[in-house]
Each structure stands twice: as C-alpha cells, then as structure tokens.
Structure 1
Amino acid sequence: MKRTELALKNILWGMIEKGIMILCPFAIRTIIIYNLGNEYLGLSSLFSSILQVLSLAELGFGDAIVFGMYKPIAEHDNKKVGILLNTFRRIYQLLGVIILTVGLVVMPFIKKLINGEYPSNINVYILYIIYLSNTVVSYFLFAYKESLIKANQRNDINSKIYITCNLGMYILQIIVLLFLKNYYYYALLLPICTIVINIYRSIVVDRQYPDIKCEGSLSHKDLYDLGKCVVGLTINKISQVFRNSFDSIIISSFIGLVCLAQYQNYYYIVSALTIIMNVIMTAVGAGIGNGIASESKQKNYMNYKELLFEYGSIASIFVACMFCLMQDFITFWVGKENQLQFSSVILCSIYFFSMRLGDVTAIYRQSAGLWWEDRLRPVIEAIVNLTLNILLVKHLGVNGVILSTIISIIVINIPWATYVLFKYYFKISAGEVFAKMMGYSLKAILCCAVAFAVCKNIHISSLLGTIFLKGMIAWMASIGVLFICNFKNPEAHKFINRIKIIVRR
C-alpha cells in the first residue's frame, strides 16, 4: 500500500506538472503561429529533433543508475547509493563534452536539413547554438541528482520543481512573444530555465537526502554490470529517438518547414495525451521495480495483467476522444487551412493506441533490467522505421511517415518486446497476454466507432461548444462500451476494488 500511496502522490503532482507543460506550450505555440508564422515552429521542431538524436549517448545511463539504486535504497546502503551517484556525475560531465563537440560538428550542415524557405530575419546558426546550450548545460550542473529522486519514488519532488520553474519561464516567454516579438529572447529563456531547475533541484536533494554523499568508485565487477546494462538500454532507447526525432527531420528534408509545423500540431495533441498517460507509468515505475525485487514472479504477473487492463482502458477512452475531436480542435486552434486529411487523424489514433499498448510491457521489462536481452529489437525496429520513412514519404507524404512508425511498432516492437519479457523474466508463454492485447485493441476500435457515430452529426453555432459537447459524448460513449465489454472481466473487478480501498484510505 505504501507503493500505491507514493504512486498516487506522484500521479497527483505529475498531472499538475503535465497540465502546465501542455497548456502553456499550447498557448505559446498558438502565439508563435499567429504572430510569427509556421516556419518558426518548424525550426524549433527541427532543432529539438536533431538534439534528441545527439543525446543518444545519454539515454542509457540515467535509467541504468536508477535501476542500480533500487536494491541499495531498499537495504539502506547509503554508501553504495553515493558511489552510484558519483559515477553518474562523472559520466554526465564526459557526455556533456561529447554532445557539445558533436553538436558543433553538425552545425555547418543545418541548412541542408531545411527544404525550402525559413525566416529571413533569423540566423539559424545562432538559434541552433541556443538550443544546443540548453541541451548541454544540464550535464555540467547537477542533473545527475535527479536519479536519486526517481529511485526513491519521489517524482512529486521533481514535479514541484518543474511546476515552479517552468511556469515562470512560460510566463516570461509569452510576454516576450506578445510584446517584443523576438524569437531569440524567447529561445534564450530555455537554457536559463534549465540552469535554474538544476540548481534548485540540487539544493532540494541535498536537504532531502543529507546522508547520501556523492563520493567513491564502483568495483570492476559493478562497472562491468553497469556497462552491460547501459549498452543494452542505450540500444533500446534508439528506437524511441528514431521514432520521434527522425520523423520530423524526414518531413523537414523532403517536404518543408510549413508541412512539418502542420504535422507537429497534430503530433502535439498526441504528445499531450501521451504525457498524461506517461504520468501513470512514471508514478508506478519505481514501485514495479521494488515489487520485482521483493515479490514472486506469479504476483508480479498478476499485477502486470491488472495494470495492462487499467492502462489499456484509459488509452481506449483517450483515443476515442482524440478520434472524434482532433479535426475540430485543429480548426479552432490554428484554422482549417492547417488541417491535414482525415486519414492522418485515423493514423495518429492508431499510432497513439499502439504506442500505449506496449507501455506496460516496457516498464516491466525495464524494471526487470532486461536491456541487454532486448538489445537487438530496437536496432531492427530503427532500421525498418527509417527505411520505411524514406520510402513512404515520397508516395504518401506525412501519412507515409506516420504509417511507417505504426508498422514498426505493431510488427516489431510490441511482439518482440513482449516475447523478451516473458522468456527472460516471467518464463511462461505470452499467449494469454497477446490475446488480451488483441482484445483491448478491438475494444478501442469499438469505442472509436461508437463515439464517432454518435458525434459526427453534432454541430452547434459555437465551435468551442461543439468540441466540448463532442468530448463529453465521446467520453461517456467509450466508458459505456468498456463497461459492457468488461462486465465479467476479473481485472475490471480488481480495478474497482482497488479504487474503493484507495478512496477509503
């Protein structure tokens, strides 16, 4: 129950944090579109994607260190935790130098990644340096201390820090865009906020965990084990970067910045819902790691199936609402001229749900430390995704990019990742879970179909009112479908009973 209470606290503060991270950038994005133009959004998306690729070297270390901290924290071995923290600090400093160097090497080629026009009053190299500094600065400050917060299941601390600092940054950015209309000043606030967050978090961590001293060195055996985890995890994370970052780079290179900005408007909606869903995964992640370290495989398998049901049900409701509202919302937000075809809405909905379908397996696989066993999957997935991106974008445009990602997820990511989890951790057949995933997918399709059939003829004088009314109907319709479909589902009854216990406590 302690893990549940910590998870609920993390979810509460995580929802507040993500709400700010969704609404404020949404307001900023709207101001940029109407005051500056789509090209500015395209540049921002391109630079962010390039720097995500450059940060590939970092992706494995953070999660590996957090995973390594679970056991010593449970055993109150503060010395071992301090050694891991010190190791992380040294690694981050080295990575900062590597990413800065590679980033500067890439800089002369920036214009070659832009197809067509870009704002004439912008020096893309200066802007790129600002974005690069925002990426690099954390490595030389105290970003490594975040691992201590995550390993102790205290993401609520992180959320409070981000709420305070990011809210201040967003307000200043809105003021700059509205009154100064200077994109350089807007961008400069990003590294400034990153510096403030890292210093603030360092002070909080030192006060919260005064007994943890960042000192000492790992033994050769521990270094070998850590290195093995890092290699497997870094390779594993590559697929995520290829999936998210290369999509934007491909669109910019083959189609142009305006189309990239339009695609990013749709992707922003998908990302906003993903952020909300990820709050749940982040909140329960450390608890799952603790459960794997202290409970039987049978108990963890039962918890896995329950979480898969709960998460899949929430994703079904989200995707039904998105399917019914996305085009109306785009029209209300940025105008009908920035709409993509309805086929893009269908593909975005499939993309969102297929990604969420694999989240529970991913968090259990990570918590079990199966990165090395899963090292081949992301390589194959990344190659297939990138190849299909290049082939399909020429014939289908933006839809080709989305479709290539869906294929790589459904054909490679989900079945292969699930197989690894069940072969190396649960050590039983994954047939039951594959059947459940198929059932949850069919229920999600049914939710979308019923909700859309009810909503398609709803139009009132106010577009905002139409969106609100459709949203409520889609929400209720999808819940009704799930209630009917899961009336005798044992996971559903366990979910309801858990909610009753939580409410009573």
Structure 2
Amino acid sequence: MENSRTRNSFRNMVASAAANIITFLLGIIARRYFVLILGDEYQGLNGLYTNVISMLGVVELGMGNAIIYNLYKPIHENDRETINSLMDFYRKSYHIIGRLVAVIGVAIIPLLPFFVKEVTVDINSTVVYLFFLADAVFSYFLSYKRSLLYARQENYIVQIIHIRCLTAMKIIQTLILYVTRNYYLYLVIMVVLRIVENAIITMLVDRKYPDLSGKGAAPLKKEIRDDIFLKTKGLFLHQIGAFMVNGTDNMIISRFLGLVTAGLYSNYALIIDSIKNLTKQVIDATTPSVGNLLVTETREKQYDVFKKMRFIDFWLAAFCGICLYVIMEPWVVIWIGRERLLPDYVMLVLAFNFFQKTMRNTYGAFKTAAGIFHEDRFVPIIESVLNIGFSIILVKTIGLAGVFIGTTISGLALWCYSYPKYVYRNLFGRSYKDYAKETVGYILMFFVLLFTTSFIANRFIISNNLLKLIVNMAVCIVVPNVMMVLFYFRTDNFRYCVQTVMGIINRLLGRRNKA
C-alpha cells in the first residue's frame, strides 16, 4: 500500500510538471499565431471573458475540494457506500452550480459593455461571451467524476487525457485560424474539445470503477454533509478575495484602457502565470508534511522548518522574477513583435508582484495546515477592496502600471497584518519585529539582485534579438545565483536548500536506475 501511494505521488508530480511545461509550450505557440492572425483586440476579448467566467466560478464555493477531502477516508477504508453517496452528492451539487452559473452568466450580459471601452473589430461580442459561458457550464455538468481519480491519487490519468485533448484543441484551432480566420469556429472547437475531454474521463471512470458511479446511492450522512458545508463556508471569503485580486486586472484594463491594451497584457500574463505554476510544482516537491509538523513538533522546530521553506520560496521567487524582468523584452520581440512590448516600468511592477505572490507559498501552506480560515476571513475582502480601489484610481492617473501597483498596495493587507499576526505571532510566538526584519531583508535583496543583473545585462549592446535573449539568459542564470550563494552560503537555510535539492535529484536518479 505504501509503495503504491508513493508511486502514485511520484507519477502525479511528474505528470503535473510535464502538463505545466506542455501547456506552456502549446500556449506560447498558439498565442503567437492567434495575435498575428486576428490581432490584439481579439486577444483582449479572450482575456476579458476568461476573467468574467472566473468571477462566475466563485459560485462553486470550493465545494469540489471539500468533497475530494471527504473522499480520502472512505477510499482508504473501502467504504463504497459512503463513496457512492459522496459522488451522488457531488453530481447533484455540480448540476445545481452549473444551472446557477448559466442563469447568472446570462443575467449579466447587459453589464458586459461596461467592461469594454470599445470594440472596433467586426464581431458580436455577446456571442463570443456565450461560447465562454457554455464552456464553463458544460464543465460543471460533466467534470465531477474526475474527483474520484484525484481522491485516489490518480491525478496523472486526468493530466494525460487533458494534455492530449489540449494538444488536439490547439492544433485544430490554429489550423482553423490559419485557413479561415474565423474566430467563431475557433470558439466552437474550444467548447467541443472540452466536452470530449470530460466525456473521455467520465467513460474511463465508469469503466475503471463501475460500482462507484453514485447512481442509486443512499443519502449522504449528515455529519459529512455538515463538514463539507463548514469547509466551503470557511473558504468562501478567501475565494472571493483571491478572484478580486487576481482575476480583475483584465476587466479594469479593458474598461479604462481598451481591449488592445488588455490583449497586450494577456500575452505577458500567459508567461508570468506559466512560470508561477512551474515554480509551484518545484515548491510542492520540496515541501514536507506541514500538517504533521504542526502536530508532532515544537514551535521552535516548526519555525525552523518554516524559515527554511521560506528561503527556498525566496530563491525561486527572486530568480524567476529577475528572469522575467531581464529576459521578457527580447523574448516578446522574437515571439510576437516589438510593437507588443509593454513599457519597462510596467514590467518592473509585474516582476515584483510575481516575486511577492510567489513568496506567499510557504505562508499559505502553514495557514492551511493550521486551519487558519475563520480568523482572517475578512482579510481577503479588505485586500480585494484595496486592490480594485487603488487600481481604478491609479489607472486613471498613471495608466497601465497603476493597475498592477494597486495589486502591490493591496498585498500590504497580507504582508502587514495577516501574516505577522496569524502566522508569526499566533503560530510561532514570534514578534512583529522578527517578521519585519526577515521580510524587508528579502525584499531589499530582491531589488539589489534585480538591478545588478539588469545593469550587467544592459552592458552588452547587441542588435540581434536572438543573441540578446541568449546573453540575457546567461546573465540571469549566473549573476543572481552567484550573488545569493556568496551572501547566504554560511547560513543553515542555504545548507537545507542544497540538501533538499540533492535529495530530490538522488530520488529521481534512483527511480530512473530502477526502471
């Protein structure tokens, strides 16, 4: 059983990492052809409606994760009656959510023009939105059975099917654009392939677990149902806050600056979000069982592990943030053209926002493991109000950079209140002074590394963009990493980081040799 669980965990980690890399590669290839064939305004419309659909996704309340959590125990105990009851409850819940999303999605159609400054392309933007809405609604009706694979640690099966369908979708969409330049056909393929993906997963689950379909199941036990509702209630405000901070940028940009600018930003967001997902995979692979740590170890030991995990967060966040800032210009020029570059000062804000959001990973792991949801339930709402308020004020005064500076300012709700109070003080018994010293130190080091790396890269005057990209990449690999080694090599955090990386490499090499 233990070997099977370990094997599945390893498969899931590899499949998730591979899926993120393939998704990233498919995304940049497909995006290049999309913007070159249809233009930036279409891409802005894509980004806007993706954000609107994400907003509707708040209706889900995190119920899927709560149900998956409650599947673990009955699966471990082979309690088929409870598994079937949960699957039936999941199916009914998601059908209700799907109907709600459809009704609310149609109801807000009259509000959509508010988010669009102007549409100059010859297209019915309402029809486009309905395609995005249909894509989301069909997913709620068809996707619930994949939860059984997640709970059984068989995520890799979902990832394999997803990547195959995504690859087919991107290839067909690109060919359709190249041959017909028809955006509506492009959207039809998006909806059809999503239905095909969910149908394949549903049929696979039915064939693999024919007695766990949930049909004819007994009603779910009250204590389990109450636990699901309790968890969704605790996470609801956090979900709203997360969307309002991370999912409203395109809405604000398209409303005040237009769809073209929103399209330009979407290109950068594709790269930044892809790197963020990849770094999360690395961090997840280096994260020990935080929940077990909080139960079995002393506060001092917990804090020691926290600091070391946070140091790994810092190294990854700083290195990747610097790479984004220094490499993005030559990359965008080669990828989609110089006319789609954003100003350097905008990229600086985006790089810092990437850094500070990635630095949150360790805090998030400890907060979740400690069950800190209710105590800071209003913090994400405060953060979201600050984000939208400052973004709207600043976009009117300083333009695009103001949207992202608003995100930076709103993050202060977490950095200056939630983290020091609920993690440093309540969890570790540490003072605000300790927190401020460490946090400010990491932020200052990030800017020292960034400006030093950028200064050295700019000393090379190169007209060839491909050569400039290669040189900038080399500078990014060498300069910040060497500086961090020289600055931190005597610390316990650095030694832990090296030991962790070497341990992962040895495990991977060991598995490959056994194979």
**TM score, norm. by length of structure 1:** 0.90
Of residues 149-158 and 332-341 in structure 1, the stretch that sits farther from structure 2 once superposed is 149-158
- Correspondence for 1:252: 254
Is the contact made by 2:382 and 2:413 (CA closer than 8 Å) also made in structure 1?
no
Q: Distance in 1 between matches of 2:95 and 2:24?
A: 31
1:26-73 deviation digits (Å, cap 9, x = unpaired): 222221222111110011111111111111111421222233344555
- Correspondence for 2:161: 161
Of residues 56-65 and 473-482 in structure 1, the stretch that sits farther from structure 2 once superposed is 56-65
Give the C-alpha shift of residue 396 in structure 1. 1.3
Is the contact made by 1:46 and 1:248 (CA closer than 8 Å) also made in structure 2?
yes
Give the C-alpha shift of residue 161 in structure 1. 2.0
1:417-447 deviation digits (Å, cap 9, x = unpaired): 46334566x3533655554443333332232
Q: Distance in 1 between matches of 2:53 and 2:212?
A: 32
Q: Distance in 2 between matches of 1:56 and 1:227?
A: 15
- Correspondence for 1:387: 389
Amino acid at match of 1:137: F
- Correspondence for 1:16: 18
Q: Equivalent of 1:112, from 107, 111, 114?
A: 114
- Correspondence for 2:187: 187
Amino acid at match of 1:308: R
1:135-183 deviation digits (Å, cap 9, x = unpaired): 1111111x22333333444433332122111111111111111112111
1:98-120 deviation digits (Å, cap 9, x = unpaired): 00000011123323321123311
Give the C-alpha shift of residue 205 in structure 1. 3.8
| Gap change, CA 1:308 and 1:111, over 3 Å in 2 | same
Q: Distance in 1 between matches of 2:416 and 2:62?
A: 20
1:432-451 equivalent positions in 2, closer than 5 A: 432=434, 435-451=437-453
- Correspondence for 1:95: 97
Of residues 429-438 and 187-196 in structure 1, the stretch that sits farther from structure 2 once superposed is 429-438
1:243-289 deviation digits (Å, cap 9, x = unpaired): 2322111111111111111222222222121121233456678x747
Is the contact made by 1:239 and 1:382 (CA closer than 8 Å) also made in structure 2?
yes
Tell whether 2:493 aligns with 1:491.
yes
- Correspondence for 2:129: 128
- Correspondence for 1:464: 466
- Correspondence for 1:36: 38
Q: Distance in 1 between matches of 2:134 and 2:190?
A: 9
Tell whether 2:358 aligns with 1:352.
no
Amino acid at match of 1:46: L
| Gap change, CA 1:84 and 1:490, over 3 Å in 2 | farther
1:130-149 equivalent positions in 2, closer than 5 A: 130-141=131-142, 143-149=143-149
Amino acid at match of 1:160: I
Q: Distance in 1 between matches of 2:442 and 2:458?
A: 24
Q: Distance in 1 between matches of 2:37 and 2:354?
A: 30
1:457-495 deviation digits (Å, cap 9, x = unpaired): 223342012112211221121211221122122132223
Amino acid at match of 2:273: S
- Correspondence for 1:339: 341
1:380-434 deviation digits (Å, cap 9, x = unpaired): 111111111221111011111000001111343674146334566x353365555
Tell me the SS of whatever aligns to 1:115: coil
Any gaps of 5 or more consecutive residues in structure 1? none
Q: Distance in 2 between matches of 1:56 and 1:312?
A: 30
| Gap change, CA 1:35 and 1:500, over 3 Å in 2 | closer
| Gap change, CA 1:167 and 1:403, over 3 Å in 2 | same
Any gaps of 5 or more consecutive residues in structure 2? 511-515
Tell me the SS of whatever aligns to 1:458: coil
**TM score, norm. by length of structure 2:** 0.88
1:265-280 equivalent positions in 2, closer than 5 A: 265-280=267-282
- Correspondence for 1:26: 28
| Gap change, CA 1:55 and 1:501, over 3 Å in 2 | closer
Q: Aligned Cα RMSD in Å?
A: 2.8
| Gap change, CA 1:306 and 1:160, over 3 Å in 2 | farther
Give the C-alpha shift of residue 198 in structure 1. 1.4
Q: Distance in 2 between matches of 1:171 and 1:403?
A: 37
Of residues 324-333 and 93-102 in structure 1, the stretch that sits farther from structure 2 once superposed is 324-333
Q: Equivalent of 2:307, from 305, 308, 319?
A: 305
Is the contact made by 2:245 and 2:383 (CA closer than 8 Å) also made in structure 1?
no
- Correspondence for 2:174: 174
| Gap change, CA 1:185 and 1:414, over 3 Å in 2 | farther
Of residues 377-386 and 491-500 in structure 1, the stretch that sits farther from structure 2 once superposed is 491-500
Q: Distance in 2 between matches of 1:494 and 1:333?
A: 38
Q: Equivalent of 1:49, from 44, 51, 61?
A: 51
Is the contact made by 2:241 and 2:383 (CA closer than 8 Å) also made in structure 1?
yes
Amino acid at match of 1:482: M
Tell whether 2:206 aligns with 1:233.
no
| Gap change, CA 1:245 and 1:19, over 3 Å in 2 | same
